[in-house]
Amino acid sequence: MRKGLCFRLRKILLCVVGLYVAIPFLIKLCPGIQAKLIFLNFVRVPYFIDLKKPQDQGLNHTCNYYLQPEEDVTLGVWHTVPAVWWKNAQGKDQMWYEDALASSHPIILYLHGNAGTRGGDHRVELYKVLSSLGYHVVTFDYRGWGDSVGTPSERGMTYDALHVFDWIKARSGDNPVYIWGHSLGTGVATNLVRRLCERETPPDALILESPFTNIREEAKSHPFSVIYRYFPGFDWFFLDPITSSGIQFANDENVKHISCSLLILHAEDDPVVPFQLGRKLYNIAAPSRSFRDFKVQFIPFHSDLGYRHKYIYKSPELPRILRFPPLVQGIPGEVGTRAPALSVTRHLKEHEDVCPCPPLPPASPAPWRCAWRENSDASGPGRGGPGRPEAPAPGGWEHRFLWTAWGAGMWPSLPLAATQPEVLLGRQ
């Protein structure tokens, strides 16, 4: 009996070793396997969601479009308007959403990473955060992802992003347009911005979340490669098939040719794209001559925060971070002001139109309160108190949002103001 058990164990061990040795040869002979493992576009998470209905994901101020960058390629696109418009956006058609891009709100083009779709949970939560901060958010699935039609490739993904960017610029007038890439999307983002800079139409800023230097270094550092990292001929078996498939995503080269402000966000406990790759990319970009007239900033997030690869949107510091110089040239009264957006006071002329406050969209948090106060020496309790003044004070009203809880990565919508806002620093 003992002999039979040893024989079976030996047989299993030989099978495991044989498979371990065979996989590198299989990948070398079929480089398309590596391309699929990098894109992971066949992994659609979450399952069973209808991308035509973003409202099912809590985005009730979002419109679904379809754009066609090439004859046989169709892209599924979501456009989320600033959360202050969520009520006006109900029931509106695509034309209304397109016209809204010309309003005085900055725009973020979000380029997601591999696997999943534009409806991924962490992606949706980031859209909500950015929308609540006063941004339009335009995102899409590259060809071959989600409900988009086409075959994935680095060239194709970059062209898709270029097409969507041009579509935005054709409708947004002089409004600032920022490009935000996450993970694999940082490779698309730097490809795109390099091309835009070469044709002298750069975006207002580039934001890279969890970026890598290039796809070879990322593949070698990825946790999936651990069991083969010290395999003889690792580069020849695993990395060369990637580049032979036309996949480079050379962020380290692209940043040397980018002439716009750059912000890099990276969590120290990122298990997918190692933190040191983001730091290395910053060290390459910062001294580059192409950035001599622009700011380059690296924001690390301590491992104790637990943001890992895709939860930086939870950071309560994000509004403050997003006021760094590329985003301070925006429209007065929005996130693009130099003052922090943690606690906001707005001087409103038409206070009757916004008080009592309109209900927040379902995506916004419950733990908040608003307080009205009279901006004069007139007596009487403010709107936040038990009573109400007989008439508005000559100086108008100030509308202050006070956060009674902090965290969860969401903030109340900010109402439009008729005048330049006064912004106060401080957490509640």
- Measured CA to CA, the distance from residue 140 to residue 148 in angstroms comes to 9
Q: Is 183 annotated in the active site?
A: yes
- Measured CA to CA, the distance from residue 293 to residue 200 in angstroms comes to 15
- Measured CA to CA, the distance from residue 62 to residue 365 in angstroms comes to 18
**Residue of 270, 290, 315, 413 marked catalytic:** 270
Task: List, in order, residues 6 or more apart from 389 with CB less than 8 Å away.
Answer: 374, 378, 380, 381, 382
**CA 364 distance to own-chain centroid:** 18
* 296: β partners: 262
- Measured CA to CA, the distance from residue 211 to residue 217 in angstroms comes to 11
- Identify which of 72, 172, 82, 171 has the alpha carbon closest to the alpha carbon of residue 132: 82
The helix or strand, by DSSP H or E, that contains position 194, with its residue range, turns out to be helix 184-198
Task: List, in order, residues 6 or more apart from 3 with CB less than 8 Å away.
Answer: none
**Residue of 79, 112, 122, 309 marked catalytic:** 309
**Residue of 131, 132, 183, 210 marked catalytic:** 183
CB atoms within 10 A of CB 70: 13
Q: Is 270 annotated in the active site?
A: yes
Residues labelled as active-site residues: 183, 270, 309
